[in-house]
Structures are given as C-alpha cells and as structure tokens.
Amino acid sequence: MESMNLGITHAEDEMALRSKGIWGLLAGAAVGALVCCDRPAEPDLSGAAAPALEIATGSGEGAMGSDSFDEMSRLRNALVDGMSRHELRDRISDPRVVAAMRTVPRHEFVLHEYLDRAYDDRPLPIGHGVTISQPYVVALMTQLLEVGTNHRVLEIGTGSGYQAAVLAELTPEVYSIEIIEPLGREAAGRLERLGYDTVRVRIGDGYAGWPEHAPFDRIIITAAPPEIPQPLIDQLAPGGRIVAPVGRTGFDQWLVVVDKDSHGNIRERRDIPVRFVPMTGEALER
C-alpha cells in the first residue's frame, strides 16, 4: 500500500536561523532552501466534506541500469555524509535514521527532469504544486519522532511518498493521508513498486486523522495547522509523540514536539523556527 502529502512548506526564517546559530546550514544556497514539501494553498481541493478513499497500489516507473544505480547510491551516501558536516550534525544521531536515509532511493521520488539534482540537500518540484522535502528536514523530523520497530505511525501528508518510505524503514506500520488525490495515487504506486507495500494510504482531509487504525504511537504532520488538531491528539496513544510545524503564519511557526504521558497529560515543546504552508482542509476553518 502507500503514502502521500498534505499542504506544506518549510523554509526557515532568516533572522531566527541567525539567532539560533544555524545559518551555516544554508551556505551556498538560497534562504528558502531548508524547506519541507512546498505547496501553495488549493482551496478547491481542501474541503473537509470530500470522502476519504484508501488507495490500492499500482505500478510505477521502470528500473535503472546497474551503472546508474551504483552512481545514485554513491550520491545518496555522499548526501548523508554531508549532513554530518554541517552545524546541525549533532541533531541526526540515531543510527537507524541515518541508515534509512542511506537506504531510501530519493531519485525514485523526483521528476525525471530533476534526476541530476535528486541528492542535493534541497526540495525539488514533484508536480501538483508540491515539492519533495529537503533530505535534512526529513531526517530531523524523523529523528525527533523517535520511531520504534513496533510503533504504528500516522503521517498527515506525504507528497511523493519519500518521508513515508523513510518511516517504513523503521517500522512496518505506516499510515498516511493525502488531500490531493492524483498525488496520493502516484505516491501509492511508487511506494509499492519500490517494495514499501506495508504503507497504507488514504485520500482525504488529515485533520480528523484515521480513527479506524488508532491509536497511533507516533504522528507526523507535514503542514502547519494553527494548533495541533484535537482529533490527532485524541488518536495518540499514551506514551506517544507528535512532531509538526505549528503556527498561524509563516513568521510565527515552530517545529513542535508533543508528548502524551501514560495518564493522558500533554506536554509540548518548541524545537526550531520553521515556515510551512498552512495545513489545508478543516484546519483552515479553525
């Protein structure tokens, strides 16, 4: 089965980055390079009344030759090695996350015309007004999520399916909701073709979560709601964690980590300043 991505953008505010001492991460790139799944709001597709649809996976693109495969593997390892050299290198310390980033073939999730840039540490267009997330952002959010091998994970928004594939390297139970149907169907077929057939995909508004498969040990949101949707908090298992960008505008958003203890008490902490596209659907009505 598969994964997909909800409304999303994530480029860090320049002044906030400077104050946090992590400006060096963007050296040689535009200020907006640290971005997760850049997507403009699409009101005509965001209505909460649209019915949810679970996707059966299908076929995708063809395989590459062995020489090209070896070159892509080399570039992928160079990308991950490069992450360990920038100012935020200590943030990506979980060897399982590093191994997942080395394993998932990002070039399979980008458009053919951007194949030669698949292992740049930056977002790339994937169609439907969306981009594939910057690899470092995927690694950081995955690290913060602390996924265990037996965890059930819900992803609100997958875009190309790249983040879902990384999660699937860590646990066999990944559920993902996408609000844009063509994007979700493309991601589902791609994930199945690449062997990530344990990922379940559903088309619909992610605000309400996926109650049929709750509770979830981990939830990741890839678009910025004004606050964490209550249905997602309700569907989080005791001892569970949510990682999400939160804020009403691109100038007051933070990457937030929400923990629920064994008694159901919620604790929230901010991590780094971010700038995401607002979460669409019912979240826009709140």
Report domain extents, the chain.
14-285
Secondary structure class of 162 (helix, strand, coil): helix
pTM of the predicted model, to two decimals? 0.77
Whether residue 239 contacts residue 184, with contact meaning beta carbons closer than 8 Å, is answered with no
Spacing of C-alpha 88 from chain mean position: 19
Q: What is the pLDDT of residue 249?
A: 81
- b/e sequence 61-80, b meaning 16+ C-beta within 10 Å: eeeeeeeeeeebeeebeebb
Instruction: Give the residue numbers annotated as catalytic, written as ranges.
Output: 133
- How does pLDDT run along the chain (286 residues), one tens digit per residue? 333 333 333 333 333 333 333 323 322 222 222 444 444 333 232 333 334 566 654 433 444 555 677 889 999 998 888 876 655 567 888 999 999 999 999 999 999 999 999 999 988 888 877 778 789 889 999 999 999 999 999 999 978 999 999 999 999 999 999 998 999 999 999 999 999 999 999 999 999 999 999 999 999 998 889 999 999 999 999 999 999 999 988 788 899 999 999 999 999 999 988 877 778 889 888 7
- The stretches of the chain forming alpha helices (DSSP H) are 14-20, 66-83, 95-103, 135-145, 162-168, 181-193, 230-234
- How many residues does the structure list for the chain? 286
253-260 and 236-246 as β-strands: parallel, antiparallel, unpaired? antiparallel
At residue 69, the 3 state secondary structure works out as helix
CATH number of 14-285: 3.40.50.150
Asked if residue 252 lies in contact with residue 230, where contact means CB atoms within 8 angstroms, the answer is: no
User: What distance in Å separates the CA atoms of residue 29 and residue 47, rounded to the nearest whole number?
Assistant: 36
d(CA 9, CA 284): 15
- pLDDT digit string, tens, across residues 37-51: 444 333 232 333 334
The 3 state secondary structure assigned to 235-284 is CEEEEEEEEEEECCCCCCEEEEEEEECCCCCEEEEEEEEECCCECCHHHH
Could you tell me if 207 and 183 are in contact, meaning their C-beta atoms sit under 8 angstroms apart?
no
CA distance 284 to 248: 10
Q: Tens digit of pLDDT for each residue in 47-80?
A: 333 345 666 544 334 445 556 778 899 999 988 8
